[in-house]
Amino acid sequence: MPNIQSLTYFLPELILVGFVMVIILADVFFRGRNRNRLVWLMSLTALGVTAVFLFLQDTPPDAIFYGALAVDPYSRFFKWIFLLATAVIYIVSPPYTRELDKNPRHEYYLFMLLVVFGLFLMASALDLIIIYLSIEIVSIGSFILAGFLKQDRLSSESSLKYVIYGALSSGVMLYGLSLLFGIAGSTNVFEIQAALASLPEKAHLTLVVALLLVLTGFGYKIAMVPFHFWTPDVYQGAPTTITAYLSVAPKAAGFALALRILGITFGASPDMNLGTWLPVEGLPFGTLIAIFSAATMTVGNIIAVQQSSVKRLLAYSSIAHAGYMLMAAAILNAQAVSAIMFYLAVYLFMNLGAFLVAIFIHNRYGYDEIEEWKGLGFQAPAVAVAMGIFLFSLTGLPPTAGFVGKVYLFSVLIEARQFWWLAVLGVLNSVVSLYYYMRILKAMFLDSEPTDERISGHPALSGTILLLMIPVLLFGVYWSPLMNLVRSSLEFFSPGM
């Protein structure tokens, strides 16, 4: 589609960029005490207007800017996840004053909008150049947000580590993308797929190297072992609101981009209906993904058992959940992609909810150690019960949405009759995760005598926690509406359409 005509379909992204520019101008002209609130309201308005235009963008799958970006139900599904995650963080950020009050919060909201713009591009990218640029937009914004607490040594350290690991992974991935361009002679993923179908045998080794390098870049974005080392330190040092955001939105974008690009380029068909990875000589790709999945979930869970910090525990838990989703990615078919999309949707609610409870406790007491959470089940019973529901869902226990999500992930392997050992390992890892999640609940409810003391948090924070609990329970007993939405979103742009 030509560039001028493409602008009509690019309106959600243009709105985000437009509001970023307006916020920058507002920062110049408004210097009063209400500047933070003004920027906060403008940022929420940006999300609302973007959501309206995204809702109105109900068009058949197409490609814009001469095939650089896809406009299809698949990308729109992930864009809704990004908007919802960002809106939750915006809503709870004003009352989250313990860490943010000493810093210019208007910049915080500004960079989050920039990250959302990058996430939108990641969900739609069909061109190697756009892939790299979108990842860099998200990465640079995330680097700044992770180190937002300039007076905090841990925050500065986490940002530096994030930059170092991010720069290394970006360089590795860029080299892999350049090899793909050299092999295929094009940056468009569909043209690359066509070129790979008739690739001469002497170029297979170069293809294997390119694939491994690109997979390294994707592995960094989703915190896949062994590219996960940045995760615990960054999650612990960043503001907890940003930690919650990084654990959900960029991870979802990483999966969205990886499934689309690797599925098109190395899948047996662009619409992912054949259920196989395109054979690459010298590289059993499905088996490789299965091995990464096993390592990711096992390492994440085993190290989480040893953690005493709630934020670090949830960080390693986040790594393990990437491993669960990679189980389905080992089987490349529509059922696998829909299972991952469903799990990412419910993961948004349960993981954000768990982190918001950590914010609630940190706001009130500054606590982060599990031992410091003793008795909180009696002091803040509603929030503690919500935390229990989020942790049960993260474990995969019924009747929560996490249980349904894991059933879908495991069923992909079972119905494909491949990688049975991976499904068994996934169940065993879920049992391990139950142990360390229950440590938090034990501290809140069992390690202290009952007390009449009650604590309360900001209504916006407490209310958001309770609202996030509703879909976790609702989709645990009535999940068909969400799965129907996922299946209706499983429609990719393809040149043959």
pLDDT digits (tens, 9 = 90+) for 57-116: 877 778 888 889 999 999 999 999 999 999 999 998 875 555 555 656 678 888 999 999
Specify the range with the lowest mean pLDDT, choosing from 26-35, 240-249, 383-392: 26-35
What does the angle CA 468 – CA 158 – CA 439 come to, to the nearest 5 degrees?
50
Task: Note the pLDDT of residue 453.
Answer: 67
Task: Note the pLDDT of residue 279.
Answer: 52
How far, in Å, are 95, 128, 348, 361 from residue 460 at the CA level? 7, 41, 18, 14
- State both tokens at 237: 């040092």
- For residue 471, cis peptide bond before it (omega within 30 degrees of 0): no
Task: Note the pLDDT of residue 481.
Answer: 95
CA proximity to 39, closest of 58, 26, 29, 48: 26
pLDDT digits (tens, 9 = 90+) for 114-158: 999 999 999 999 999 999 999 999 999 999 998 887 777 888 888
Mean pLDDT of the chain: 87
Task: Note the pLDDT of residue 96.
Answer: 59
Task: Note the pLDDT of residue 275.
Answer: 46
Q: How far apart are CA 297 and CA 97, in angstroms?
A: 34
Q: Could you give the percent of the chain with pLDDT greater than 90?
A: 54
pLDDT digits (tens, 9 = 90+) for 246-303: 999 999 999 999 999 888 877 655 455 444 555 555 567 788 899 999 999 999 999 9
